[in-house]
Homo-oligomer: A and B are copies of this chain.
C-alpha cells in the first residue's frame, strides 16, 4: 500500500543525524570517513522527495527506464527476478543503501526493486547526480565505490551458493544482514528486526519454502539463530558466524574507503 509523498521538511521522526535525515544511514555506513561535510551535504541535497510504503511495493520494474535512483531510508528491500513462475531474490537491502544507484549508469535494470514490510525511501533525480559527476570527481568516485560494494556482496552470494548447503546459506544471510545493520546502528546485542518470510528467505537461498521451514527450525534447535515473527534472535554470534563460514571482510566494513581517500591518487601508492 502506497502512503503518498512527503514534503521535504517532514521530519516527523527522531533521527540520529539531524542534518541528514534521508542519507544519515548512508553517510554513517562505509562512506562517512571518506567524505567532507560539504560532500555529505551535497549527497543529502540530491534527495528532494521521499515516500513511505506500509506494504510490499515495486519501486522499479525490470526493463523500465529510470530517471532517478532510490535511497532506502527505513525498512528492507529485495532485488528480485521473476522467471518461469519462480521468484528469485538476488539481493537484500538495508537502510542507508543507495539501492539502485546503478540505474544512473545503466538506465534500465535487469531486475525488480521491491520493498518488504514497512519502508521509507527517497529519490534522487539522475539530473542531480549528473551534476555531481560533472563537478566533483572525488564524490563521483565515492558513488562509484558504493555501486561496487554491491558487486562484492554479490560475489560473496555466488560463493555461498557454490559452497554452502541450505542451512549454511541461511546462516550466512543472517550473519551478513546483521553486520550490515550494525554498521548503520539498527541492531542490538540480541539480534534485529527482519520482516522477510520463510518464502522470501527460500527465494534468496535457492531452496523451496518447505525446506526453508525445516532449515529455520534446524538453526533454531541448534541454538544458532531464531527467526520468527519478523525478528532474528541470536544467543552466540560466534556460533552463528561459524555455522555460516562467515567472514565480513567483503563488506569493507570500517575505513576501507577512508583508506582509499587517504591514498591521494595523484601520487599513487606502490603495492
Contacts and interface: CB of A to CB of B under 8 A. Distances in A.
Interface of A: 64-67, 79, 81, 83-84, 86, 88, 90-91, 102, 105-108, 110-111, 125-127, 130, 133-134, 137, 140-141, 144-145, 147-148, 150-152, 154-159, 161-163, 203-206, 245, 249-250, 252, 256, 259-260, 263, 265-266, 268-271
Given A67-B271, A105-B148, A107-B260, 13 more contacts: A64-B271, A67-B270, A81-B155, A83-B159, A84-B245, A90-B155, A105-B141, A108-B256, A127-B266, A133-B137, A151-B154, A154-B158, A162-B206
Identify which of A83, A110, A252 gathers the most chain B CB atoms within 10 Å of its CB. A110
Nearest to A133: B137
B151 A268 contact: no
A90 B271 contact: no
B151 A67 contact: no
The oligomer's copy count stands at 2
A93 to B, nearest CB: 13
Given A151-B154, A155-B110, A245-B83, A130 B161 contact: no
A155 B154 contact: yes
Contacts of A65: 269, 271
30 contacts: A64-B271, A65-B271, A66-B271, A67-B271, A81-B155, A83-B159, A84-B245, A86-B163, A88-B158, A88-B159, A105-B148, A105-B260, A106-B145, A106-B148, A106-B260, A107-B263, A108-B256, A110-B152, A111-B155, A130-B137, A133-B140, A133-B141, A144-B147, A150-B151, A154-B154, A154-B155, A158-B161, A162-B205, A162-B206, A163-B206
